[in-house]
Structure 1
Amino acid sequence: MISDAEAAALYDVLNPWDPGRYASDAFYHRLVMAADAVLDVGCGTGTMLHFARSQGHRGRLVGLDPDPAMLGRAVVRTDIEWVSGAAADAAWTREFDLATMTSHAFQCLTGDEELRASLSAIRAALRDGGRFAFETRHPLARAWEQWNPANATDVADPPLRSWYRVDSVAGDVVTFTGLLGDADGTVLRTEQTALRFLDVPTLNAFLTEAGFVIDDQCGDWDGTPIGPDSREIITIARRV
């Protein structure tokens, strides 16, 4: 079997942070480097903040995540603040210019009350005019239909295979199981996750209710407006 710590290490192999290769990473890197104080909600292993610091960010960087194994990898860099907790646990008041939720972490907020509490805490952590940047998969793209063994990802060293199995689609919440197996197909680890696929009107209603205005919203990392073929809903919301 694969331990939590090993799974966190594999996450970095499967999801490397590289603004030079990935437009999504470049999008967030530009925002982070332009902000004096940044709160990364759902920071995972902390690679976005690690990279920003290595590229000369001199301000305050804080990562918040509820997963001990992920934070265990993040804390190797001690010139960044690391806090254990979920989005709704954010307890700062007007301390940040920018809050982020990358890698579709926003979709982990599956219930209305959890979403409201999280948005309230994130807004409270921002200074007046502070911005919240995040992305969520556009439901019209039906990304979950591609989550199957035919689209598995292989890791060369050690030789492993990662794939997904959709368990249920209930309204706008998709529940699926992530599986890691060895080269001969033996399953070494499973983990079930639920993600919420909000449409644009519903998403924006939650943001407005929480005290945000939409500064920018697009359907691709190149700034293309949201349309019927968009795979993403990329949002920059501002505290008012």
Structure 2
Amino acid sequence: MVDHAFDDTRLARLYDALNPWAPCDDFYLDLVRGAGSVLDVGCGTGALLIRAREEGHAGRLVGLDPAAGMLAVARERGGSSVDWVAGTLESARMAGGFELALMNGHAFQVWVDDDEIRASLAAVRELSGAGGRFAFETRNPAARAWESWTPDRWVEVDGVRVTHEVVRDFDGRTVTFTTTFASPAWAAPEVSRSTLRFLAPDELDGFLGEAGFAVEARYGDFDGSPFAADSPEIISVCRVR
């Protein structure tokens, strides 16, 4: 099920203000520049691919997302300069052979169940060309990022106050939390419920290896620092074996 925060166009329009361009975007943009064809899985509002096209990327750029609200924003901003596809890796029908597949914004963590992870990685592998690369990040569970998802750390954008609250703490696999959007101009707050999977590095590598990917590089943050046990991120750049 798609999170309400992403499916509702009114809420999706807030996404880029809540998540402005950051070092993570620069990291992936550099990879996109070096690839002739790119599939952005969970492309959201499409900011990354739109920036690449604006810079002059002349290759095939495809943004895939199951959230209607996010894709509506992407199409408004990027028009037909990028091929926007509604659906999931398993439901979408498209030609493969991509030099690069990527997932940013911690989109990898929405794959909660083992079978879902296996099926999705197999689909990425099938859509990748010979020697294709797959780059993504997932939060390091050892850093316990969810402990900062508390209502007192609210932010406000465009007159909307946004708060997070964990409703089911880390159980060794997942965390469930709510995101509440409140505005004096709205009749009532909008609440979105999300569940994310947190994978330890060895568990993650097991899934990748099973799907036919070899990890070429791993970083602990988007400044290029190597992964360590207490790193905030597990950033993986993989290649099809």
The TM-score normalised by the length of structure 2 is 0.91
How big is each residue's C-alpha offset from its partner over 1:31-88, in whole Å with a ceiling of 9 and x where there is no partner?
A: 0011000000000111111111011110000000000111111123202111111233
Residue number in structure 2 paired with 1:118? 120
Q: 1-side partners of 2:121 and 2:93: how far apart?
A: 12
Shift of 1:188: 1.3
How big is each residue's C-alpha offset from its partner over 1:110-138, in whole Å with a ceiling of 9 and x where there is no partner?
A: 00011001000001111111000000000
Shift of 1:94: 4.0
Q: 2-side partners of 1:96 and 1:228: how far apart?
A: 32
Counterpart of 2:83, as a letter, is E
Q: Confirm or deny that 1:229 pairs with 2:230.
A: yes
Q: Confirm or deny that 1:38 pairs with 2:12.
A: no
Runs of 5+ in structure 2 lacking a partner? none
Counterpart of 1:49, as a letter, is L
Residue number in structure 1 paired with 2:29? 29
**Residue identity (%):** 46
Residue number in structure 2 paired with 1:206? 207
Q: 2:153 aligns with which of 143, 151, 154?
A: 151
Q: 1-side partners of 2:75 and 2:35: how far apart?
A: 21
Which segment is superposed worse, 117-126 or 93-102? 93-102
Runs of 5+ in structure 1 lacking a partner? none
Q: 2-side partners of 1:90 and 1:226: how far apart?
A: 33
1:88–1:118: 8 Å Cα contact kept in structure 2?
A: yes
Alpha carbon RMSD of aligned pairs, Å? 1.9
Shift of 1:154: 1.6
Residue number in structure 2 paired with 1:51? 51
Q: 1-side partners of 2:145 and 2:188: how far apart?
A: 24
Q: How many residue pairs end up in the alignment? A: 233
Counterpart of 1:204, as a letter, is D
Residue number in structure 1 paired with 2:17? 13
- Judged with a 3 Å threshold, the aligned counterparts in structure 2 of structure 1 residues 187 and 171 are, in CA distance, closer, same or farther, namely farther
Counterpart of 2:117, as a letter, is L
Q: 1-side partners of 2:188 and 2:229: how far apart?
A: 37
How big is each residue's C-alpha offset from its partner over 1:123-177, in whole Å with a ceiling of 9 and x where there is no partner?
A: 111111100000000000000000011211122x3x2211111011322100111
SS state at 1:87 partner: coil
Q: 2-side partners of 1:26 and 1:63: how far apart?
A: 17
SS state at 2:222 partner: coil
Q: 2-side partners of 1:231 and 1:62: how far apart?
A: 29
Q: 2-side partners of 1:43 and 1:211: how far apart?
A: 23
Q: 2-side partners of 1:53 and 1:133: how far apart?
A: 19
Shift of 1:221: 1.1
5 Å-filtered alignment, 1:91-110, equals: 91-92=93-94, 94-110=96-112
